[in-house]
Chain A
Amino acid sequence: MLAFIKRHEGLWLFTRSPAVMIAAIVALTIIIGAVFAPWIAPVNPYDLASFSLMDGLLPPVWEEFGSEKFLLGTDDQGRDMISSILYGARLSLIIGVSAMIIATTLGVGLGLAAGYFGGRFDAIVMRIADVQLALPAILTALLIDGIARGVLPPEMQQDLRVVVLTIAIALSLWVNFARTARASTFVQMNKEYVQAAVMQGQHPLRIMFVHILPNILGPLLVIMTVDLASAILLEATLSFLGIGLPADSPSLGTLIRIGMQFLLSGEWWILWIPTLFLIALVVSINLLGDFLRDVFNPRLR
């Protein structure tokens, strides 16, 4: 076992840094909790029949008046905090991961093509990327969200909220992928294996995705983790601003927004527990991203 770990440098480094191991455990715990929320969570927070106002504002179990039925307490509606948080983290992760996947696909596709074909196509893609890079992601996402509000008929607004949010976040994050993919593709284009494939007359799509893509995955993987963290933060921020998910299907950001109303009163758990969850999730994903960067980029060590 030890020999195996030592042979794989990444794994070896992993066992040597406690912070990264803790981060991995925290991230995995939250992700598993979120994925299996419908089975783990004591109640379903979307089901109005599952909670009652009578249980409202109960503190966590370790505080005075805490109830064992609600380990982390309840909000003003009597909703169990654990269930709200697990379901909220689930929504945050669903949106974050799908946005990240869409951004990766779009960005890597465009970046590969720009690097492979070069010329005018490259120039156009990179100009668009430059313009968007000048606009911070949050502004782009807000703008796309605003446009969606204007274009979509009102009756579809609520149903499509998650989709709109995902697309808005994805479209504000693709640039990083495109630029990295393009730069790495340029490096690969001069390698003999690519030239050999071109000589053989293989299809450009095949060369791009079968030959070049596997060789540029390393740096892309790093961006994927970092951007997953950004996507989750963006979603939380939009929901906090009241532009994201509504209060009846809350994400972590929405929960924090609701909790803000209790900032001045004694019910600290309604605000701080979701906040702590969000920070733990994002910090651990960022730590893992930093770790991956070190693994793929030995020069920085």
Chain B
Amino acid sequence: MVYFIAKRLVQSVFVMLAVAFLAFSLFRFVGDPITQMTGVETSVQDQERLREDLGLNDPFIYQFARFTGDMLKGDFGFSYRTRQPVAEMIATRIPATLELGIVALLISLFVGIPAGVYTALRPRGIATQTILMLTLVGVSIPTFVIGIILIFFFGVQLGWLPTFGRGGTVNLGGWETSFLTVDGWRALILPAITLGVYQLTLTMRLVRAEMMDVMQSDYIRFATARGVPMRRLYFKHALANTMVPVITIIGLQFGGVIAFSIVTESVFQWPGMGLLFLESIRFVDIPVMGVYLVVIAFFFVLVNLIVDLLYVFIDPRLRIKDVS
């Protein structure tokens, strides 16, 4: 088990290095950093001196090492557009995106898993056919259209829920949370559903496929033959074995949730990292783009590490393998 975890850790470090390299290449090769940092009136001599001071004439490897070192120290450079430290800009946006993503993920799990189990157990029912048809439509409707439809019905026509922004937030030691105000929750509902719908269809389809697979297996047939009560059979014997792939998908979905939050944040003007990333693309603000990538990759790697650790707890075989 120690070997398994150590291997994953090393892999994660390599992924992070690769992403840092990508961010660095962006910064170094897309446009000239010096022309971005200085104005038109800066003389060529001054530009050259700045280039030398910043170490942009050093060998490539040195520059990359320094870039990575700075990142580890929390120094992410300055935005071309606002001249603010990027670390600060991103840090203030992280809570909004994470809270939105977590709620969306929970919606996708709490609706997707039961729906998947149900449609697997009653494959010929009318409800199942309806749900499957709906998921196909759900996959085909782009996230932003789902957002617009929700805004139209619940925001404009019915006027029940706010359609943009985060509503009231409470500052918890630097973390702006919208979980503690009614206003914040109301503002969260529509964006979270928008973001969760696509993930929900994925979760449901996966759970359904896994569950159908497991129901065909010998041990379930044997358990049926032994006369194990149906409820116990479904939820104890079968569902437990579908959990490993489901946990994998949670890890993968986290990436999807973060990426699609760019779209959702744009529709609902949600002040998160995605909106910041979009602005940075529009203004070719390379440092912000790079750091966004690194931060996203970090969350992604972290979640997948946790998922790998969870395997060890869920699947006893992984614990025994090391002994042999």
Residue numbers of A with Cβ under 8 A of B are 131, 134-136, 138-139, 142-143, 145-147, 149-151, 229, 233, 236-237, 240-243, 256, 260, 263-264, 271, 275, 278-279, 282-283, 286-287, 290
Contact = CB atoms under 8 A, between A and B. Distances in A.
Given A138-B260, A241-B266, A279 B284 contact: no
Interface in B278-295: 278, 280-282, 284, 286, 289, 293
B31 A260 contact: no
Closest 7 CB pairs of A and B: A136-B259, A150-B30, A146-B281, A283-B140, A139-B259, A282-B140, A150-B31
B13 interface: no
Contacts of A242: 278, 282
Nearest to A145: B281
B277 A142 contact: yes
B26 A147 contact: yes
Nearest to B253: A136
B281 A263 contact: no
Given A263-B148, A263-B156, A279-B141, 18 more contacts: A134-B15, A134-B300, A136-B260, A138-B260, A139-B296, A147-B30, A149-B281, A150-B31, A233-B140, A236-B142, A237-B143, A237-B263, A242-B278, A264-B156, A275-B145, A279-B137, A282-B140, A286-B136
Contacts of A131: 15, 18
A293 B300 CA distance: 31
A279 B137 CA distance: 8
Contacts, number: 94
A236 B140 CA distance: 12
Contacts of A229: 140
A contact face: mostly helix, strand, loop, or mixed: helix
A143 B145 CA distance: 22
A27 B252 CA distance: 32
B144 interface: yes
B96 interface: no
Interface of B: 15, 18, 26, 30-31, 136-137, 139-145, 148, 151-152, 156, 252, 255-256, 259-260, 262-263, 266, 277-278, 280-282, 284, 286, 289, 293, 296, 300
A150 B15 CA distance: 25
Nearest to B293: A143
**Which of A240, A243, A264, A287 has the largest count of B CB atoms less than 10 A from its CB?**
A240
A278 B136 contact: no
B269 to A, nearest CB: 11
B259 A138 contact: yes
A131 B259 CA distance: 15
Contacts of A138: 259-260, 262-263
A260 B148 contact: yes
Contacts of A147: 26, 30
A149 B280 CA distance: 11
A149 B263 contact: no
Contact of B140 (A237, A243, A256, A279): A279
Contacts of B282: 242-243
Contacts of B262: 138-139, 142, 241
B162 to A, nearest CB: 13
A145 B282 CA distance: 9
Given A145-B281, A147-B26, A286 B140 contact: yes
Contacts of B145: 256, 275, 278-279
Contact of A263 (B140, B141, B151): B151
A150 B290 CA distance: 13
Contacts of A145: 281
A149 B284 contact: yes
Contacts of B15: 131, 134
Contacts of A263: 148, 151-152, 156
